Chain A
């Protein structure tokens, strides 16, 4: 086996894992705290990419500074969109049951795709690649683009940040508590609605961060949220639904195995993710990290 290629593919896998983690951690967080499976989570990722293009290209002319501004501005903006969705639409489904949530959030996917088409057009748009000014590190015949390295760092930094947030901060602890027993938390005088809107804000922010991170690598098009949401579901099922650590483990497994499969067993590229998912479901139906931070009763 070609060790250089193996190393390059593990690196590629880590980049993809990092993007997957940003999106799936938001998905699993919202599910863990609120028991809402937001199918439109991928649309928020798409929104992150499109808003990123708007800030970077149309507003700021593609300078290196523009990327920094976009990374600071876009994720909170997407977070606010998510929070607004929770306040206006999704909260209405809480008394109605999960099938209504699925119908509503599926409908939102179509709405977002059409909105994107109305605002930015149906054609795929090029998001300029920051590697053009960042460059890359040479490694044999391979190049490790610097932006890819940054993405890996961002993914792990967000993981550590979330871990500290839920483990160390008051808000984080309240969110976990609300996930475990809503009534007790309410009885202690905490506004649970605020907890819900905060978790939607945070989960959507993470998806928006995924979108702005991935945007410069990919090409933006309406419907770009579909693929990532399918893989994100696989990730959180493998890792354990509601578990941030599980989202990280699942992202690493899916990202790296997909990359290795392309190189060494191309026929397995798509199927491998779902084979692992099925195997995990058979052996440990709650996922690898079956004891989620947000355990529910």
Chain B
């Protein structure tokens, strides 16, 4: 674990800065020529716009994720087009709705084959990403950057060529959770848990509990509980937890479920009877808004993590985050959620890889040239420097923070006392995972 102070020191020492120095340019660059002025100026670059296809849940119960992604894409594309596009090509986005459940693969194919999208970004659901990867790899052959779906299986159990994942996945966060408990709360004796009743909930508990058992062998654990997605009433789960009298509760509930659970647990007195509550998905502004300052427990410590947190890395040491947050806030009136940060970074990762491949090749790069340029690429995203590993997984530091009221500075609760876990400590080696591949 790295404390905030040490992390600042690392940044100051330039250890990380070295890796990403080049990519920093984009936020500092002055306004360049417009794509129209640039068009055709660079040898070998086509003059027509560059189309990127995106898929997220745009409608339905999870439509809020598509909304976050769209906002970030607009921001990135506006910025890029205002300074000459990608090598002079104007960037255009075409979107399809992942909530159209029967047609996920057909719609992806349609974007590539009919709408001529040259690259793909997005995908919220882990199930979809596992179905999609073989189609992209064997058939469509377009570079695809995943921005949300978090199953370890995507990068750990598949040999990927065209598919990359820029966003944090669940395993490092859950490994870090076990480390957090072992290092900060070694007094824990009994652990209860709840998670959503599908692969993610089971995987998350398996990763956390196996790691915690190694670090604190004496800990007793209750039979894990699982609730179906969209459960409205958690009272019965909460009372079952109370009967077990745990001192720590681990919850992998997410979105509205995570907020509903906290609210009901407050009124059922759970947080008066436990010491710690950990949720790897709590660091999401949509969830925090739904929890509200009024439900921040006074007694128990509530800790959360996520793929990105808008106050981390601290704005004074990571100006890219500061710039992203302030641009997002002034354009949309809210602090950027994690899907916004990962989607924004995906576009800049593609831009960096295309530019790198162009320089290497001297002509507009093909898909395999972009793949070669993506491998080993480092992008400076709002979440810090992201390095793309040989298994096509983006790696960056994991944070855990303690829930606190946002008032008077923020309109929703925030995470404070940020604990940083360097990626070397918490990412399994390429090809490894605590989850069974088959």
Residues on A lying within 8 angstroms of B by beta carbon are 2, 4-5, 8-9, 12-13, 15-16, 113, 117, 121-126, 128-129, 131-132, 136, 138, 141-143, 145, 147-148, 214, 217-219, 221-224, 227-228, 258-259, 262-263, 266, 269-270
Contacts and interface: CB of A to CB of B under 8 A. Distances in A.
Interface string B144-165: 0000000000000000000000
B360 to A, nearest CB: 42
A223 B60 contact: yes
A136 B267 contact: yes
A222 B233 CA distance: 17
A218 B232 contact: yes
26 contacts: A2-B243, A4-B243, A5-B239, A8-B243, A12-B239, A15-B233, A15-B235, A121-B64, A122-B64, A123-B64, A124-B255, A124-B286, A126-B291, A129-B264, A129-B267, A131-B266, A141-B242, A148-B235, A217-B232, A219-B256, A219-B290, A221-B256, A222-B63, A224-B232, A259-B236, A269-B228
Contacts of B233: 12, 15-16, 217-218
A4 B244 CA distance: 12
B238 to A, nearest CB: 9
B259 interface: yes
A150 to B, nearest CB: 12
Contact of A262 (B237, B242, B292): B237
A51 B220 CA distance: 45
Interface of B, secondary structure class, is: helix
B434 interface: no
Nearest to A231: B232
A122 B260 contact: no
A252 B292 CA distance: 32
Interface in B262-299: 263-264, 266-269, 273, 286, 289-292, 294-295
Contacts of B255: 124
B243 A132 contact: no
Contact of B225 (A16, A221, A266): A266
Contacts of A228: 232
Contact of A142 (B225, B242, B290): B242
Which are the 4 A-B pairs with shortest beta-carbon distances? A124-B256, A143-B269, A131-B267, A262-B236
B101 to A, nearest CB: 14
B182 to A, nearest CB: 27
B424 interface: no
How many B residues touch the partner, as a band? Answer: 35 or more
B245 A141 contact: yes
Given A217-B264, A219-B263, 16 more contacts: A8-B242, A12-B239, A122-B63, A123-B286, A123-B289, A124-B286, A125-B289, A131-B267, A142-B268, A143-B267, A217-B233, A218-B260, A222-B63, A224-B232, A258-B236, A266-B226
Given A9-B236, A142-B242, A222-B61, A147 B267 contact: yes
Nearest to B292: A126
Given A117-B63, A219-B259, A221-B61, A128 B294 contact: yes
Interface of B: 59-61, 63-64, 67, 225-226, 228, 230, 232-233, 235-237, 239-240, 242-243, 245, 255-256, 259-260, 263-264, 266-269, 273, 286, 289-292, 294-295
A117 B259 CA distance: 19
Contacts of A132: 266-267, 294-295
A159 to B, nearest CB: 20
A143 to B, nearest CB: 4
Given A12-B239, A258-B236, A270 B294 contact: no
Contacts of B243: 2, 4-5, 8, 141, 263
B232 A227 contact: yes
B236 A141 contact: no
Contacts of B264: 129, 217
A266 B63 CA distance: 30
A272 B124 CA distance: 31
A94 to B, nearest CB: 32
A132 B264 CA distance: 11
B284 to A, nearest CB: 11
B419 to A, nearest CB: 27
Nearest to B65: A122
Contact of B67 (A122, A129, A147, A148): A122
Nearest to A143: B269
A23 to B, nearest CB: 12
A262 B260 CA distance: 17
A219 B290 CA distance: 7
A128 B292 contact: yes
A152 B240 CA distance: 21
Interface centre among A9, A132, A218, A228 (most CB of B within 10 A): A218
A143 B268 contact: yes
Contacts of B232: 214, 217-219, 224, 227-228
Contacts of A219: 232, 256, 259-260, 263, 290
Contacts of B295: 126, 129, 132
Contacts of B59: 117
Nearest to B232: A218
A8 B267 CA distance: 14
A142 to B, nearest CB: 6
A263 B241 CA distance: 9
Nearest to A141: B242
Nearest to B223: A266
A125 B292 CA distance: 9
B37 to A, nearest CB: 38
